[in-house]
Amino acid sequence: MSRIDLAMAIHPARGSNAAAVHRSIRIWLCLLLLVCDMIALMTGLSAGLAFAPVAITLGDVSPSLGAITLAYAIVAFHNQAYDPRILRSATMSCRNAGRAFAGTILLFFLLLFAVKSASEFPRLALLAGLGSAGGLLLIQRLVLSRLIDRYIGDRLFAELMIVDDCPIPNDLGPMALVDAQAAGLRADLDDPYMLHRLGMLLRDHDRVVVACPEDRRIIWAQMLKGGNIVGEVISPEVEAMAPLAVGRWRDAATLVVARGPLNLANRATKRLLDLAVTVPLLIGLAPLMLIVALAIKLESPGPIFFRQQRIGRANTLFSIFKFRSMKADQCDAQGHRSASRADDRVTQVGRFIRRTSIDELPQLINVLLGDMSLVGPRPHAIGSTAENIPFWRVDQQYWKRHALKPGITGLAQIRGFRGATETRDDILKRVEADLEYMNDWSLVRDIVILAGTIQILVHKNAF
């Protein structure tokens, strides 16, 4: 078996076992770091009891120690102190942990003064405990980072090199290799299925480096921008690619052209919001959904749900669920024709559920499955066009919007950009709003968009 065959054999469409091992190692190391942090804090704070002027047992202060360590864990998580990237950087690890510890101490003293109980804690014991805890915290993080660098090194992250019509490097180290031509991959922004194949290849990797001829570098850069991955292109040219940073691979310069827009803490927060809202909504709306399903079935033969392939995160395809609002034999699976105000394909029940946005309710199932989020760029069908031009040809930045999970609603929708896309301007406004949302994401903004969506459930462009 050749090196190319071997590389493809360990990187099937759904990702390799090696990539899953990398991910598992990082998860366990982050959990180990959390446990070590807790031990360091508890040990240091307990050591401060020796300086108390009166006898204090560990049982007397254990609730306070537990509260401090729990508060630190929460602050540290949101301060990126458990981001997998800090595992390879002792400086970043200690800096993020130090900031989280300082923030925890500040919250602790503010709480003491708020409840007027600061005098109940011996000052010398408190200062000694906090000093010991902070010192042990930084020491154990420094030691752990050095051990990881020594024994794991470059194998901490799953990295992939895609070679497109270029010489194959002799020494890749732990990096996996895919020959684009042998794998049937092309630099083609005009083929959603090709982008789907690339997205499936990248989904279990953390970093990808592409080596290709100069005339394909810009296309590869655009393909990677929506891949929800750290993407780099080996290239001396930087002007046309709007790079995020300059990196290196061995002796070659690379351009970092893509990163996932949300870090680990933000992704977890967004997912928790999705589940916290979606589960109660599905339970509460179950009777309405059953009535709608019965009405659809009674009015016209065919399935209750309409399923259609849409473009999701990392440019991969997924099946979206909607209540069927058209006659079964006239549903447009490819999305070539947008529904119009007097569309003869729409049934009577369909006209009502489309006008009130009830047809979108089954997408809560997509959110529950993880294909979609409550808020994000709306997913489009492959055949969607504006002025008979595919969306991605209208604006090349179109693919960037797929770095996030698609949403049931989004910034574009609450601004009134919904309904048929008849002109190029219709899709340009949507893309502009989606990129603005992606670049300025916050949990508060998601909540504001959800609240704003309630006001546009019935909209003049919904038909």
pTM over 0.75: no
Task: Select from 119, 152, 185 the last residue of a domain.
Answer: 152
Instruction: Flag whether 463 is in a domain.
Output: no
Are residues 304 and 252 located together in one domain of the fold?
Answer: no
Do 207 and 351 lie in one domain? The reply is no
pLDDT at 279: 96
The verdict on 118 and 207 lying in the same domain is: no
Residue 121 has pLDDT above 70, yes or no: no
Residue 25 lies in a domain: yes
Do 241 and 321 reside in the same domain of the chain?
Answer: no
pLDDT of 406-458, one tens digit each?
999 999 999 988 877 888 999 999 999 999 999 889 999 999 999 999 888 76
Of 224, 258, 292, the residue that ends a domain is: 258
- Same-domain pairing of 302 and 234: no
Range of the domain at 334: 264-454
Residue 214 lies in a domain: yes
Co-location of 341 and 443 in the same domain: yes
Look at residue 144 and tell me whether its pLDDT is greater than 60.
yes
pLDDT computed for residue 463 by the predictor: 47
Same domain as 412, residue 281 = yes
In this structure, the answer to whether residues 136 and 119 fall within a common structural domain is: yes
> What does the pLDDT read at residue 333?
62
Assess whether 167 and 236 both reside in one domain.
Answer: yes
Same-domain status, 89 and 35: yes
The pLDDT tens digits for 285-301 are 999 999 999 999 998 88
Residue 140 is predicted with a pLDDT of 93
User: What domain count does the chain have?
Assistant: 3
Q: Three-class SS string for the chain?
A: CCHHHHHHHCCCCCCCHHHHHHHHHHHHHHHHHHHHHHHHHHHHHHHHHHHCCCCCCHHHHHHHHHHHHHHHHHHHHHCCCCCHHHHHCHHHHHHHHHHHHHHHHHHHHHHHHHCCCHHHCCHHHHHHHHHHHHHHHHHHHHHHHHHHHHHCHHHHCCEEEEECCCCCCCCCCCCEEEEHHHHCCCCCCCCHHHHHHHHHHHCCCCEEEEECCHHHHHHHHHHHHCCCCEEEEECCCCHHHCCCEEEEECCEEEEEEECCCCCHHHHHHHHHHHHHHHHHHHHHHHHHHHHHHHHHHHHCCCCCEEEEEEECHHHCEEEEEEECCECHHHCCCCCCCCCCCCCCCECHHHHHHHHCCHHHCCHHHHHHHCCCEEECCCCCECCCEECCEEHHHHCHHHHHHHHCCCEEECHHHHCCCCCCCCCHHHHHHHHHHHHHHHHCCCHHHHHHHHHHHHCCCCCCCCC
42 and 114 co-located in one domain = yes
Last residue of a domain, one of 102, 122, 152: 152
* Same-domain check for residues 206 and 336: no
